[in-house]
Amino acid sequence: MEFASSDGPGALPTGVKILIAGGFGVGKTTMVGTVSEIAPLQTEEVITATSEGVDDLTGVAAKTTTTVAMDFGRVTLSADLVLYLFGTPGQNRFWFMWDELALGAIGAVVLADTRRLEDSFPAVDYFEHRGTSFVVAVNRFDGAWDYAPSDVRFALDLAPDVPILMCDARSLESTKNVLIALLNHTMTTHPHALH
């Protein structure tokens, strides 16, 4: 199937992307690596951000230049369709200023650790505000407490239609299930997500 007109020779596939977001150390790069056909690569961008009321630099112009690095992987879905999975930078509070990441994305997976649910707040806020389709996937680590999905929904203040799944980011089947849930959610609720 041909998806896009191109100024190229017609042999070029179309790229699509899904974001994997969440706090530092929650397993984003693990999930990317689980489905990627290449070892996850890292790319970076230099972002100039104007911070308001965050950094009190006592009169110094509140402009911050920061480097945002992120890992990504590649999955060839068919001869003319390549999926890229981008793990949003977890440590950096400026990652959401890289709007190019979210632009045109099919949707996002917010990975959550029930021991540190608050780490998921920025990603949930960002995707809600931006209108990006997303699902929440609770990555279960050894020793993690069990919570019912309704508890997670309440704690994250999620809308009733946002899917919540349990997952193991190390498992291909589990990660596939998360991505399938995201695709189903996007097709149901965000038919025009790509614009």
Partner 1 sequence: MPGPEESWWDVDAGPIVRPFARTGGRTRPSRDEFNLITLIIAVPTDGVPRGLEPEHLVILRMCTGAPLSVAEISARLDLPVTVTKVLLGDLLDMGAVHTRAPIALAEAPEIHLLQAVLDGIRKL
Nearer Cβ to partner 1 (129/192): 192
Q: Minimum Å distance from CB 145 to partner 1?
A: 30
Cα angle 135, 137, 143 (rounded to 5 degrees) comes to: 165
User: Binding string to partner 1 for residues 20 to 59, with x set by CB under 8 A, is what?
Assistant: ---------------x-----xxxxxx-------------
C-alpha closest to that of 131 among 154, 157, 103: 103
C-alpha closest to that of 158 among 120, 189, 194: 120
Residue count of the chain: 195
Q: Please identify, among the stretches 52-60, 83-91, 150-158, 161-169, the one whose residues bind partner 1 according to the rule CB under 8 A.
A: 83-91
- Determine the size of the site formed for partner 1 (CB under 8 A): 52
* 124 touches 110 (CB < 8 A): yes
N- to C-terminal Cα separation, the chain = 20
The answer to whether residue 124 forms part of the interface with partner 1 (CB under 8 A) is no
Say what the alpha-carbon torsion angle 119, 124, 129, 132 is, to the nearest 10 degrees: 140
Nearer Cβ to partner 1 (57/187): 187
Among residues 31, 83, 109, 112, the one that binds partner 1 under rule CB under 8 A: 83
The answer to whether residue 72 forms part of the interface with partner 1 (CB under 8 A) is yes
Nearer Cβ to partner 1 (48/91): 48
Phi (first) and psi of residue 59, to 5 degrees? 95, -20
The answer to whether residue 100 forms part of the interface with partner 1 (CB under 8 A) is yes
Cα angle 104, 110, 113 (rounded to 5 degrees) comes to: 165
Among residues 55, 63, 78, 116, the one that binds partner 1 under rule CB under 8 A: 78
The distance between the two most distant Cα atoms of the chain, rounded to a whole number of Å, is 58
The residues of the shown chain that bind partner 1, judged by CB under 8 A, are 1-9, 11-17, 35, 41-46, 67, 72, 74-75, 77-78, 81-84, 86, 100-101, 103-104, 106, 172, 176, 179-180, 183-184, 186-187, 191-195
